[in-house]
Homo-oligomer: A and B are copies of this chain.
Amino acid sequence: MKVHVEEFHVSTKAREEVVVVTDKVESIVARSGVRNGIALIYVPHATAIITANENEPGLKEDILNKLRSLFPRGAGYRHDEIDDNANAHLANLFVGFHLVMPVVDGRLRRGTWQEVMLVEMDGPRSRRSVIVVVLGE
């Protein structure tokens, strides 16, 4: 049984942005030497999201638009009295900052339309962290 932990960083260029990171995660899975098991993909952040879905430009706009409509900026939040990003905290909490995927035959067992995505909700940031833990044999 192996445990492989690795971290990489992403810089974001806008307040809200979808960044596809599948290749970086697949490289870590390959380096781990794990053939069968799981991969935890995790952002140690309270205002960014990690998830997976289809890498289609229109859909990426739809995702950001839905996040903006469900969690609008500056909508009278108490947290905005000390910071201006309560909406990003809520998006992180409701959508997710942790993702566990199967590893089969040394690769993520993901669907055709599943690319791993970091969704920035409080950017731009020079250094968002993504931690990957691969467990298996």
A135 contacts which chain B residues (CB < 8 A)? 37-38, 135-136
Cβ A59 vs Cβ B44 within 8 A: no
Contact B58 A82 (CB under 8 A): yes
Interface size class of A (residues with CB under 8 A): 35 or more
State how many copies of this chain the complex holds.
3
Contacts of A136 in B (CB 8 A): 3, 135
Query: CA–CA, A95 to B93, complex, Å?
Result: 7
Q: A47-B113, A54-B89 are in contact. List 14 more A-B contacts (CB 8 A).
A: A3-B37, A3-B136, A38-B40, A44-B111, A45-B111, A45-B113, A46-B111, A46-B114, A59-B79, A59-B89, A66-B94, A103-B133, A109-B131, A111-B129
